[in-house]
C-alpha cells in the first residue's frame, strides 16, 4: 500500500486501483473536535480537486478535496455515528471515502510521506 499527501492535508492510500482518502493528523489537529462529517455517495464521479466531503468541527467547516479523479465506491459509514474517529484515528478508522483511481498518473503530483513532513514543518 502506497500513501500520498496533498498540500490541502488529505492523504490517499492506494492498493491496486482502489484508493482510501482521509485527512491528515495535522489537519484534524488544526480543526479541533470533529462534530459532523458529510461523505460522498457511492457512484459519485470525482475529478482531481473536486470538493468531495465536508468536515465540521467546533472551529469551522472545511471542504475535503479529491486528491485524484475516480468514482466513489463508498463513504465511511462509521462516521455518521462517530465523527470523532477523524480525530482519534485520522489515518485509520477515520478515513472518509474509498474511490477508484481513474488516472494513476495523477498520483505523481502528490507528496510522499517525507515530502509532506517537510511541507508541514515549514508551516
Domain with residue 79: its CATH number is 2.40.50.100
pTM for the structure as a whole: 0.96
How do the residues of the chain divide into helix, strand and coil, expressed in percent and rounded to 5?
25, 35, 40
- Range of the structural domain that residue 73 is part of: 2-107
pLDDT score recorded for residue 1: 78
Number of domains in the chain: 1
Contact between 67 and 74 (Cβ < 8 Å):
no
Write out the chain's pLDDT in tens, 123 residues. 799 999 999 999 999 999 999 999 999 999 999 999 999 999 999 999 999 999 999 999 999 999 999 999 999 999 999 999 999 999 999 999 999 999 999 999 999 999 999 999 999
Amino acid at each position: 500500500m502506497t500513501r500520498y499527501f496533498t498540500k490541502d492535508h488529505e492523504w490517499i492510500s492506494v492498493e491496486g486501483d482502489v484508493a482510501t482518502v482521509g485527512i491528515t493528523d495535522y489537519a484534524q489537529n488544526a480543526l479541533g473536535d470533529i462534530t459532523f462529517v458529510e461523505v460522498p455517495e457511492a457512484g459519485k464521479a470525482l475529478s482531481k480537486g473536486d470538493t468531495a466531503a465536508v468536515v465540521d468541527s467546533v472551529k469551522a467547516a472545511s471542504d475535503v478535496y479529491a486528491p485524484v479523479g475516480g468514482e466513489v465506491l463508498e463513504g465511511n459509514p462509521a462516521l455518521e455515528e462517530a465523527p470523532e474517529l477523524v480525530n482519534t484515528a485520522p489515518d485509520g478508522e477515520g478515513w472518509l471515502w474509498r474511490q477508484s483511481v481513474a488516472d494513476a498518473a495523477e498520483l505523481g503530483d502528490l507528496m510522499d510521506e517525507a515530502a509532506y513532513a517537510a511541507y508541514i514543518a515549514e508551516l
